[in-house]
Amino acid sequence: MFRIILFALCCLVHTNIASAQGTFQDLVQYHAPNIIKGSVKTAPPVITDIQNFGGPVATDFLLAWQSKELWFRKSDDRLITVTTTDKKTYTLLDLQTGDAIGSATKSEIKQIKPNSGLRGMLGTSLVASQLISDDINTRTASLRSLARDPKLTHLAPLRVAVAKETDPDLLVKMTRLERLLTTQYDTNSYERVKAINSFSNDLGLDVRGRLNPILDTQIQLSKTAPDHGKFAQIITPNANGEFTPTDAYAMIVAQGWAEPDITTDEKRQAIINNIENGSVAGIDIKTLDTAQSRDAAYAALAKLGTVPTDVSDADIQAAINTTHFYTTYLEKDPAVVAATIETLDSINTRVGISNTIDLFLDGLSLASIFFLAAIGLAITFGVMGVINMAHGEFIMMGAYTGYLVQQIITNYTLSIIIAIPAAFMVTFAAGVLMERLIIRHLYHRPLETLLATFGVSIALQQLAKNIFGTQARPLTSPDWLGGAWQINDVISISWIRVAIFVLSILFFLMLWFTLNKTRLGLETRAVTQNPRMAASMGINPAKINMLTFGLGSGIAGIAGVAIGLFAKVTSELGSDYIVQSFMTVVVGGVGNIWGTLAGAAMIGFLQKGIEWFNPSNTLAAQTFMIVFIIIFIQFRPRGIIALRGRAAGD
């Protein structure tokens, strides 16, 4: 510790002895005796002069010295670095220019090998040199490296760097790291408290990692009650807790306040050791077949003074009852402890709030995914009343369409822009074809529709396996959708989830406008509610059914592109969302676009809420969610937002 303080003071106040020297070589030659000798006592002023010279040459020299790459020529003690092309001849290099200045044999030069203490001092000086480098990239890289494993020796050079730093962003990072080190290593209580209080709004894990050890405690005991303020917490031995009566009595024995408790194994061994002529203390060993008889034999030995006297359970409890147990902080400065408690309370409160917000954002993200997956089904099932079990496969078709587009267009942004309408057209055409060939023959026959579309679902999955194989295919998002929106160390949400949320809102508005403000939407609702009356008004029910089913399928294809950006694109992609899609539509209210939105929100938030209680088992969360939904439907069979009027009775 003395050496570290001495070195820090030398770095701060030492005057450049060799300031009058013209070149770097002149400077190091002035200090050559101390460099060659390599003592930790003589090195600090040498290092300080080299640092004051500055520049890359000074940093390279310190690095060469530390890594044992520094040599000197025996004839004149000239400091050099060397290279070699063979094992006999060495090329000598000038320290400042790196140019060759001659050659020598191994016997004419000698390697400088600093000891471990000096290498540690040189390492600290290198940090200091790099932190005040003229190159901002060097300073940034040095600070990043230092932040991975900050130590006491870094505090002094870091403070020097903070005083000299001119870049605002880098200064903030340097200052934060300096305050982190101050909380742990500074000897000034006022400075430590000031640094600790400055982190009351900082949710960084590194902050909590530095502050929590300050509140580490150790168990103490005394015969009298401890004074207020002299302990962290009064503790009571608990057989079911971390501090048991056995632990408590062991501490009492260690203090010499009670006799040790003799274990059963120790008693048995003592009895064996004292067997004489087939008996122990006059007791025949044939009778020592019970725990009570062995205890009696041991007690007899204790009366004879052969073995230590055992203590009873009552004695143990009496000793514990007359002893006070409490914890004290390892940190001896009460002001530091108080500041740490206050700061951690503030941080934990903010962490709790942030966790709540993060859980809400996760639920919102999952709800938007469920809504995007179910919005097409809201048309085919919610509006038309068609149970389409192949809806998930339309999602899968959309994802594969996006994958194929990316094989042709390598620009990910452009490929996604093209993939969205392409997926719509492909799945729209598939939906129209399916409606014309199968669905139109099964209207108002739900069981047959379910079985037929389930068969189509299996066929489409197998077709996808035959074409693309069983291996997952990548659907890569653009760079601007990479990463996450990092609000703080607790709250973050990926940009893809943000994009899906925005897309789901856009589709909600588009679908609501289509169904309520366009001729197609009016005719769709007319045909689904009363096809005969609609036909008498000049509407072609077959055409409207075809377009409506195609629209729902096309929207499912677009959802597939969005979902494929973060989920694996396989033939089973749609199977992962078909159940949630039906639940979303049914729970929200069949035939109501607002109900689909409400259903997605309910299921998304419910699943995330259940996962919060058991984050390691998402399958259990989904199971509990399904059970809850079944119970919910029993009390509200028409969903959250039920249709009213004539449509509700259809």
Asked whether the predicted pLDDT for residue 410 surpasses 90, the reply is no
Q: Is the pLDDT of residue 4 over 70?
A: no
The pLDDT confidence band at residue 12, using thresholds 50, 70 and 90, is very low
User: Using CA of residue 639, residue 642, residue 647, residue 650, what is the dihedral sign?
Assistant: positive
Which residue has better confidence, 37 or 86?
Answer: 37
Annotated domain spans of the chain: 2-131, 152-214, 217-329, 352-649
Lowest-pLDDT range of 12-16, 209-213, 543-547, 573-577: 12-16
Name every residue whose Cβ is closer than 8 Å to that of residue 74 and which is 6 or more positions away in sequence: 108, 109, 110
> What per-residue confidence (pLDDT) applies to 643?
55
Poorest-pLDDT segment among 265-279, 353-367, 545-559: 265-279
| Tokens (6 digits) for 466 | 């035959």
Residue with the larger pLDDT of the pair 441 and 20: 441
Average of per-residue pLDDT across 105-131: 82
Q: How many helices (H) and strands (E) does the chain have?
A: 27, 12
Closest by CA to 10, choosing from 125, 120, 112, is: 125
Q: Strand, coil or helix: what is 457?
A: helix
For residue 254, give Cα distances in angstroms to 261, 309, 372, 584: 12, 17, 67, 65
Inform me whether the pLDDT recorded for 647 exceeds 70.
no
Reported confidence tier of residue 479, pLDDT bands at 50, 70, 90: confident
In 3-state terms the chain splits into helix, strand, coil percentages (rounded to 5) of 65, 10, 30
Q: What are phi and psi of 133, to 5 degrees?
A: -65, 155
Counting residues of the chain whose pLDDT is more than 90, the rounded percentage is 15
CA distance linking residue 16 with residue 48, whole number of Å: 7
Residue 573 to residue 200: CA distance in whole angstroms: 45
pLDDT at 616 over 90: no
Q: pLDDT band at 47, cuts 50/70/90?
A: confident
pLDDT in tens, 430-472: 999 998 899 888 887 888 888 999 999 999 999 999 998 888 8
Alpha helices, H only, 90-154:
116-131, 136-148
pLDDT at 231: 80
Amino acid at 199: F
Q: Is the pLDDT of residue 269 over 80?
A: yes
Amino acid at 286: K
- Residue 120 is predicted with a pLDDT of 79
Residues 326, 231: Cα–Cα separation, whole Å: 6
Q: Which token pair is 135?
A: 């190159």
Lowest mean pLDDT among 180-184, 194-198, 199-203, 513-517: 513-517
Per-residue model confidence as pLDDT tens digits over 278-303? 887 778 787 888 878 888 888 888 88
Residue 20's pLDDT band (cuts 50, 70, 90): very low
Whole-structure pTM value: 0.67
The two structure tokens encoding residue 452:
């037929």
Residue 646: band (very low, low, confident or very high) from pLDDT cuts 50, 70, 90 = very low
Q: pLDDT digits over 219-250, tens only?
A: 989 988 888 877 888 888 888 888 888 889 88
Residue 357 has pLDDT above 80, yes or no: yes
Q: CA torsion angle for 609, 602, 620, 398 (degrees, to 10)?
A: -120
CB-hemisphere CA count at 13 Å for 76? 6
Q: Give tens-digit pLDDT for 164-197.
A: 888 899 999 999 999 999 998 888 999 999 999 9
Give SS3 for 111: strand
In whole angstroms, give the CA distance from residue 411 to residue 413.
6
Most confidently modeled of 148-157, 560-569, 637-646?
A: 560-569
Q: How confident is the model at residue 618 (pLDDT cuts 50, 70, 90)?
A: low
Taking a C-beta distance cutoff of 8 angstroms, is the pair 454, 578 a contact? no
**Run of H or E including 324:** strand 324-329
pLDDT at position 227 is 82
CA angle 373, 376, 378 (to 5 degrees): 100
The reported pLDDT for the residue numbered 105 is: 86
Provide the pLDDT for residue 183. 92
CB neighbour list of residue 131: distance below 8 Å, 6 or more residues apart: 139, 142, 143, 146, 157, 158, 160, 161, 174
Return the pLDDT at 17.
Answer: 41
| Run of H or E including 78 | strand 78-84
Per-residue confidence (pLDDT) for residue 642, from 0 to 100 = 62
What size, in residues, is the chain?
Answer: 650
Q: Any idea which fold 352-649 has?
A: ABC transporter involved in vitamin B12 uptake, BtuC (1.10.3470)
Min mean pLDDT across 93-97, 108-112, 219-223, 621-625 is at 621-625
Residues above pLDDT 70, as percent of the chain: 93
Question: What is the residue-averaged pLDDT of the chain?
Answer: 83
Alpha-carbon distance of 199 to 619, in angstroms, equals 39
Q: According to the model, what pLDDT value does residue 341 have?
A: 92
Mean pLDDT (whole number) for 386-407: 90
Tell me the backbone φ, ψ of residue 132, rounded to 5 degrees: -115, 20
Q: Given a cut of 60, is residue 257 above it in pLDDT?
A: yes
Helix, strand, or coil (residue 284): strand
Confidence bin at 7 (pLDDT 50/70/90): very low
